[in-house]
Amino acid sequence: MELSPQILAGWLRAFAADIAENEALLTDLDRQIGDADHGANMVRGTTAVAQLDPADFADGRSYVKKAAMTLISTVGGASGPLYGTLLLRLGSALPDDGPIDQAGWLPALRAGVEGVVARGKAGPGDKTMLDALIPAVEAFEAATDQPWQAAAEAAAAGRDATVPMIAHKGRASYLGERSAGVADPGATSSALLIEAAARTLA
């Protein structure tokens, strides 16, 4: 696949559409174990990103970097810096231009997820977006065929695996044991991000 602002905008606009469709779900998950704003936060940010015109960008990298800055400056909360850092690092690790394959994507995905770890200081099992993102990258790397599809399935499974978890980071951690029983809102939105990639980048 050719790496272009248009292709990448296709991904993030699909993500924005999925977020809009799932706003109520994301808010309701956050209402149960957080502060009921994850839906509104993500809609605000992804709507702004979807309004970026890919034609304004010279290459995929600069488009993704602008998308990241847009998230950082519109989302707020915990998810703004985290999704922003994810895309910022991912964009920086993308090749300049030209065709991209599984081997080309892998370091970019890894850099993005490592950025989330560095920014938020959470790890696997803390009941955060990382519980969708880390398995997604691992599945992407391990896949012999259709790596995006494998990543999307792993992200969804990772999201579901957050249900019984007790949160250690973010607002849900204040609940202690009462945080179990509900999927993490950020893991749920992250699974949407990878699923949108599987539909648009595969």
Partner 1 sequence: MKKLINDPGTVVADALRGMAAAHPGTLKIDHANRLVISIDAPRPGKVAVISGGGSGHEPLHSGFVGPGMLDVAVAGEVFTSPTPDQVLAALQAADSGAGALLIVKNYTGDVMNFEMAGELAAAEGIDVASVIVADDVAVTDSLYTAGRRGVGGTVVVEKVAGAAAQAGCTLAEVTALAQRTADAARSMGLALTSCTVPAAGRPTFDLADDEIELGIGIHGEPGRSREQIAPVRELAARLVTPILEDLDFTDAPVIVLCNGMGGTPLIELYGLYAEVSDLLAAQGVQIARNLVGNYVTSLEMAGASVTLVKADDEMLEYWDAPVSTTGLQW
Ligand X SMILES: Nc1ncnc2c1ncn2[C@@H]1O[C@H](COP(=O)(O)OP(=O)(O)O)[C@@H](O)[C@H]1O
| 72 is a site residue for partner 1 (CB under 8 A) | yes
Write each residue from 143 to 182 as x if it is in contact with partner 1 (CB under 8 A), else as -, in one continuous string: -------------------------xxxx-xxxx-x----
112-119: list long-range contacts, CB under 8 Å, 24+ apart.
112/85, 112/86, 112/87, 113/86, 113/137, 114/89, 115/85, 115/86, 115/88, 115/89, 115/90, 116/82, 116/85, 116/86, 118/85, 119/81, 119/82, 119/85
Residue 73 contact among ligand X, partner 1, Mg ion, none, beta carbon within 5 to 8 Å by kind: partner 1
The token pair at 105 is 């994507």
| 185 is a site residue for partner 1 (CB under 8 A) | no
Among 18, 22, 39, 67, binds partner 1 (CB under 8 A): 39
The token pair at 131 is 């519980």
Report the interface residues with Mg ion, using CB under 5 A.
30, 34-35, 37-38, 77
Report the interface residues with partner 1, using CB under 8 A.
27-28, 31, 34-37, 39-41, 44, 72-82, 119-120, 168-171, 173-176, 178
